[in-house]
Structure 1
Amino acid sequence: MRILIAAVTVAMLAGCATSPISADKADPVPKDRFYAFGGASDSELVVTRDSGFSGSGCKLRFHIDGKAAADFYSGEVARFGVTQGHHVLAVEPVGICGGSGIYEAEVTVVKGESVRRRISGVSVYPTTF
């Protein structure tokens, strides 16, 4: 009986996990949730939020250098025009999931480069997806 309960628990937790999604397969962030960095620039920052059930109802606000750039739901992607150099990226839960802080990461981009990052949970990570 314990083995059955353990197996069901593991299966339920696996169903709540998130997983990386390719920027090509993700849905674009709608224009009404895109706030800044939408134009062409020196370089491109491609940000994708993981797909999956865990936290999927929570909207996450993505910031670049302290400025709100876009709001993401699960399985969405946005492409931002950024200048070359050092940038601070941040993720902030908003709406009904808000109030739990801002989580930051750094990125340095080279002119003409396309850099990919993924939002997993409430953190930003390098990715190849």
Structure 2
Amino acid sequence: MTNWIKMIEEEPRLLFVLMLISVAMLLDLLTGLIAAKLTKQISSKIGINGILRKIASILLLLFFLPVSSLIPFQAGSVLLYAFYLSFLLMELHSILENYEKMGIKTEVFRTFLQQLFKKNKDK
């Protein structure tokens, strides 16, 4: 148990990325609710399903913190970063979809995200 706590102490950015994911999830829930209200497609069943999926996602993300410490040579941290960043990207994509449902143009944001991740792949 102390291995993964030690890993978090050595890599505090992991918790920062987890915090960014949590904020993105909250923003996704809020924009989804606003989009549903504007398009008159609000449904408690869909809303509860979304909330439960967010809770399950957070639990899964937290579960992989101690699991990643079992992988040797800091590979666990690298894999966890990749998993967290891909999850953050999915949340940002979902937020942009909600903005589109609200009638907000998102081409600028999509282009920025594509360029950002294209540059990261080139490195």
TM > 0.5 fold call: no
The structure showing larger relative contact order (alpha-carbon pairs under 8 Å, at least 6 residues apart) is: 2
Output the TM-score relative to the length of structure 2: 0.26
Flag the structure with larger Rg.
Answer: 2
Q: Greater helix share, 1 or 2?
A: 2
